């Protein structure tokens, strides 16, 4: 079974097992693309664990894998879901710092979260 298949365990709630496999792949220098990291980040954000998602992001970018808009989407969603809106906004800003262009969806996710918190004035500053 390939690493990407094993990591799909996260989709059915096996994040601990997926993380062990992911870490083993990282430690063996077998990860050279962003797909596996994106799967892990997405799994953690869907479980509401944005801190672990950030840890995976830092781990994969630390080994030289370039960030992508997809990874940022999951992080922004995770922080919005956790009502950590300032952190979500920082990730939108980080997209720009990496020379990437945030999509309308990223702003919509952020704006929805701010609106649900009653922070309409903050939305106007985007």
Every domain of the chain and the residues it spans: 3-124
The reported pTM is: 0.74
| 8-22, 48-62, 64-78, range with greatest mean pLDDT | 48-62
Mean pLDDT to the nearest integer, 89-113? 84
pLDDT of 81 > 90? The answer is: no
- The per-residue pLDDT for 9 is 52
Three-state SS for the chain is CCHHHHHHHHHHCCHHHHHHHHHHHHHCCCCCCCHHHHHHHHHHHHCCCHHHHHHHHHHHHHCCCCCCHHHHHHHHHHHHHCCCHHHHHHHHHHHHHCCCCCCHHHHHHHHHHHHHCCCHHHHHCC
Contact call for residues 77 and 45 (beta carbons, < 8 A)? yes
- The per-residue pLDDT for 13 is 61
- The per-residue pLDDT for 55 is 93
Superfamily of domain 3-124, CATH level 4: Tetratricopeptide repeat domain (1.25.40.10)
pLDDT of 38 > 70? The answer is: yes
The string of pLDDT tens digits covering residues 8-21 is 555 556 788 888 88
Q: Say which residue the tokens 């799967």 belong to.
A: 39
């Amino acid at each position: 079974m390939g690493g990407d298949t094993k990591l799909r365990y996260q989709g059915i709630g096996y994040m601990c097992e997926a993380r062990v496999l992911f870490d083993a792949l990282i430690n063996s220098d077998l990860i050279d693309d962003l797909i596996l990291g994106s799967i892990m980040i997405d799994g953690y954000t869907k479980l509401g664990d944005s801190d672990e998602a950030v840890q995976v992001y830092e781990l994969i970018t630390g080994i030289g894998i370039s960030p992508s808009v997809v990874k940022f989407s999951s992080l922004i969603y995770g922080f919005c879901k956790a009502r950590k809106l300032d952190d979500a906004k920082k990730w939108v800003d980080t997209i720009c710092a990496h020379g990437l262009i945030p999509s309308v969806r990223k702003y919509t996710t952020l704006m929805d979260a701010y609106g649900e918190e009653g922070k309409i004035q903050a939305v106007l500053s985007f």
